[in-house]
Structure 1
């Protein structure tokens, strides 16, 4: 059984650009960035400090301050915190 699936056989990787590209109609090529790399921008999480991420996400210091991984973790922790606060408020009202 083949574990690999080729989704787009016309797509190639250009190591100089660090991106994949695919051929469009008319022989034109379009490039797809493989992540946002900005040497001056860093994730605001002290434990991470990365400058390369597929997407910058909202964090405690505003939009586009956390890398993708830290932003997802932050969002989940915030949702959990809000759920716990709502549960505690409900318990206090019913006591």
Structure 2
């Protein structure tokens, strides 16, 4: 477990980008008073957190959600289950 005084290992990231994007990144970093490295790291971290969080979240139209929930109250036809439940149970309820 890392403590506050323990530094995490560093990794290196390289990317080939066009000059226009490079200038845009430089300008944005300057406006936030950050180095390009700090700006890029911050933006990548924020984007990564959003993507990972969305992977655990299902977005659905409210009407579609209501139809899905309503469908849970309507049993599917299942002859196999009907046959199984027609047999007497051996467990005392």
Q: TM-score surpassing 0.5?
A: no
Greater strand share, 1 or 2? 1
* Higher radius of gyration, 1 or 2: 2
TM-score relative to the length of structure 1: 0.30
Q: Which fold has the larger relative contact order, with Cα–Cα distance below 8 Å and residues 6 or more apart in sequence?
A: 1
TM-score of the aligned structures, taking structure 2 as reference length: 0.30
